[in-house]
Amino acid sequence: MNVISNHMPTAELQTLDAAHHMHPFTDGAALAKTGARIITAANGVMLTDSDGHQILDAMAGLWCVNIGYGRYELADVAARQMKELPYYNTFFQTSHVPVIALSAKLAELAPNDLNNVFYAGSGSEANDTNIRLVRHYWAIKGQPNKNIIISRKNAYHGSTLGGGSLGGMPKMQTQGVPVIPGIHHIDQPDWWSEGGDKAPEEFGLERARQLEAAIHELGADRVAAFIAEPVQGAGGVIVPPSTYWPEIQRICDEHGILLIADEVICGFGRTGHWFGTDYYGIRPHIMTIAKGLSSGYAPIGGSMVCDEVAETVAQGGDFNHGYTYSGHPVSCAVAMENLRIMEEEKIVENVAQETGPYLKAKWESLASHPLVGEAKIVGMMGSIALTPHKESRAKFAAVAGTVGFACRTRCFANGLVMRHVGDRLVISPPLVITKAEIDTLIERAIKSLDETLEQIKADGLYKVG
């Protein structure tokens, strides 16, 4: 077989890719026609594709390359760990130094008494763990029927059977999930799309109180936990009104419901704090972590668990759960090095005090563009809602996502990766993005918005639905 390398022509790579590679979250037939964009290298915030184009990655891969590309320190640590101890498991009363070190470090960084880590290979797996963990916890406490988990519509908690069942995205719900019984969904706090005439604060309270209504309906003795992302990421960077999280916290406290904060995107500096939980001042019993934990350099996820839940589970005999790669030594070592760099280079502080506010001012100014309704941002996760009529927060007549996709295509052509979620465009750049790179991001975004507006006018798509 020929060596397949970066030096092959793009078309040949695309043909091979289409012939043998099934892509996640992709229309395979459509992709086979156009051919995949092939990324060959990356450094800092810039990607290089197989045709030599330089593209500013305002998505940090998939919301994960927090320290940016090209940090050889992580490669060196991985190589060293592979030579010393490439693998050993953490089942059956064994442990190893990288997992011990990372667990202690995470306990130090995490808020409150989230001092205990159960490892997984990804965010989806970690949420599967959470389902089993909270049900097992209540069973040990003599309440096996306290097993319902409340989640939200338009939430994303992963793509495994468990994660997909917890999630609330309509497009996923028709394809083999939900399959886990005992998961109940309430509405999301998306004021732009669903707030109607209410003030955002009033709407935030109303949506939080749906949790209380659901608990009353189902019975507090039946509800094990509530799971939510501090800021919904894949759902379109939906920043909840300020009233939302304090009310959710009150409700969980008053009714004895475990709170699971899914920090897979919000964690590790994305909000300008170590965790989204810190940003909102909430006190979860469990946090789901992944992505930024290793800046995506190695696969790793996990559940950070408070002392009381961890101690109860420890007293409950064997917890018959785990993955071959729970606490993988190479991933743990890479994550440790990532956290060392984040601390040493004060990356989170820099987002909070310097680059975050700089990006916020520029991002929010996009709201004055004729195509943009709201522009929202927390730390380094932002979104804009495209609309044909700002005042009424109208949707387009075209199928949802048509205009968003057109804009995302213009972004690519202009050397910028933004992701579209329906007719919202979202960003989540590497946290190390500089002010000059933020200027480039915004210039390219404006150019892409201008071109999209022209295009949809020409195509007759600039119409209220």
Residues that bind ligand PXG (CB under 6 A): 62, 122-124, 127, 156-158, 163, 229, 233-234, 262, 264-265, 288, 290, 301, 419
Handedness of CA 48, 50, 52, 55 (dihedral sign): negative
| Cβ closest to ligand PXG, residue 146 vs residue 157 | 157
| Cβ closest to ligand PXG, residue 292 vs residue 388 | 292
| Cβ closest to ligand PXG, residue 186 vs residue 453 | 186
Q: How far is residue 228's CA from residue 252's CA, in Å, rounded to a whole number?
A: 12
Nearest approach, Cβ of residue 356 and ligand PXG (Å): 20
Beta-ladder partners of 42: 47
What lies within 8 Å, CB to CB, of 392 at 6+ separation is: 464
| Cβ closest to ligand PXG, residue 427 vs residue 453 | 427
In 3D space, the residue among 305, 338, 266 whose CA is nearest the CA of residue 119 turns out to be 305
- Token duo for residue 236: 């379109």
| Cβ closest to ligand PXG, residue 233 vs residue 422 | 233
| Cβ closest to ligand PXG, residue 330 vs residue 456 | 330
Nearest approach, Cβ of residue 235 and ligand PXG (Å): 8
Specify the amino acid at residue 257: I
| Cβ closest to ligand PXG, residue 284 vs residue 301 | 301
Interaxial angle between packed helices 356-365 and 435-458, expressed in degrees from 0 to 180 and rounded to the nearest 10: 20
- Token duo for residue 464: 């209220």
What H or E segment, with its residue span, contains residue 39?
Answer: strand 39-43
| Cβ closest to ligand PXG, residue 292 vs residue 356 | 292
| Cβ closest to ligand PXG, residue 265 vs residue 453 | 265
What lies within 8 Å, CB to CB, of 222 at 6+ separation is: 145, 146, 147, 148
Neighbours of 382 (CB within 10 A): 24
The b-or-e profile of 276-300 (16+ CB within 10 A means b, else e) is bbbbbebbbbbbbbbbbbbbbbbbb
Nearest approach, Cβ of residue 129 and ligand PXG (Å): 12
Q: Are 361 and 353 in contact (CB under 8 A)?
A: no
Q: 271 vs 96, 254, 278, CA distance in Å?
A: 32, 28, 9
Nearest approach, Cβ of residue 196 and ligand PXG (Å): 27
Nearest approach, Cβ of residue 120 and ligand PXG (Å): 9
Nearest approach, Cβ of residue 291 and ligand PXG (Å): 6
Q: Are 115 and 150 in contact (CB under 8 A)?
A: no
Neighbours of 194 (CB within 10 A): 16
Q: How far is residue 104's CA from residue 96's CA, in Å, rounded to a whole number?
A: 13
Nearest approach, Cβ of residue 426 and ligand PXG (Å): 8
Backbone angles phi, psi at 301, to 5 degrees: -145, 180
Nearest approach, Cβ of residue 237 and ligand PXG (Å): 9
Q: Are 225 and 155 in contact (CB under 8 A)?
A: no
Backbone angles phi, psi at 435, to 5 degrees: -65, -40
Q: Which residue is nearest to ligand PXG (CB)?
A: 123
| Cβ closest to ligand PXG, residue 42 vs residue 456 | 42
Nearest approach, Cβ of residue 152 and ligand PXG (Å): 11
| Cis amide bond preceding 178, omega within 30 | yes
Q: How far is residue 390's CA from residue 386's CA, in Å, rounded to a whole number?
A: 9
| Cβ closest to ligand PXG, residue 262 vs residue 437 | 262
Nearest approach, Cβ of residue 299 and ligand PXG (Å): 8
- Token duo for residue 30: 């459509």
Q: How far is residue 429's CA from residue 66's CA, in Å, rounded to a whole number?
A: 8
Nearest approach, Cβ of residue 143 and ligand PXG (Å): 27
